[in-house]
Amino acid sequence: MSVGQTLAPEWRDYLDPLTGRRVRQLTDSPAEDYHLYFYNPSSTPDGKYLIFISERTGISNLFRLDLQTGAIVQLTDAQPVRAEYWPFTEAVKGVGSCLPAIGNGGQEVFYFEGTELFAVDIESLKQRPLLSLPADRRPSMLQANANGETLVFATWDEALFMERSRRAYAGEKFPDERFFQETTSTILRVNAVTGHADEVFCKEKFWINHVHLNPHKSDLILFCHEYSGLPDRMWLLNVSSGQCGPIPGQGADEWYQHEFWSADGGRVCFHGGLSGDNTQGFCGWCSADGTNYTKAYHATSGRAYAHYNLHPDGQTMITDGEARPGCISKVYLRDGRQVFEILCRHDSYTFGDDQRCHPHPSFTPDGQHVIFTSNRTGTSNIYLTDWN
Nearest CA among 196, 197, 221 for reference residue 210: 221
Query: 201 in a domain, yes or no?
Result: yes
Please count the other Cβ atoms lying within 10 Å of the Cβ belonging to residue 93: 18
pLDDT (mean) for 351-358? 83
Reply yes or no on whether the pLDDT at 304 is more than 60: no
Phi (first) and psi of residue 327, to 5 degrees: -125, 150
Task: Give 220-272 pLDDT, tens digit per residue.
Answer: 999 999 998 889 999 999 999 999 999 999 999 999 999 999 999 999 999 99
Question: Of all residues in the chain, what percent carry a pLDDT higher than 90?
Answer: 89
Assess if residue 332 is contained within a domain.
Answer: yes
Domain for residue 326, yes or no? yes
Q: For position 350, what pLDDT does the model report?
A: 67
**CA-to-CA dists, residue 267 to 37, 165, 261, 264, 295, angstroms:** 20, 35, 6, 8, 12
* Residue 305 confidence class, pLDDT cut points 50, 70, 90: low
Element at 198 (helix H, strand E): strand 197-203
250 in a structural domain: yes
Q: What are phi and psi of 276, to 5 degrees?
A: -100, 10
Q: Is residue 1 part of a domain?
A: no
Helix/strand/coil for 180: helix
Residue 215 lies in a domain: yes
Q: Does residue 98 register a pLDDT over 90?
A: yes
> For residue 28, is it within any domain?
yes
What's the domain range around 95?
6-386
Residue 270 lies in a domain: yes
Length of the chain: 388
Residue in 8, 107, 113, 93 with CA at minimum distance from that of residue 51:
107
Q: Total domain count for the chain?
A: 1
**Mean pLDDT to the nearest integer, 280-285:** 93
Nearest partner of 94 among 107, 76, 114, 80, judged by Cα: 80
pTM: 0.96
CATH number of the structural domain spanning residue 108: 2.130.10.10
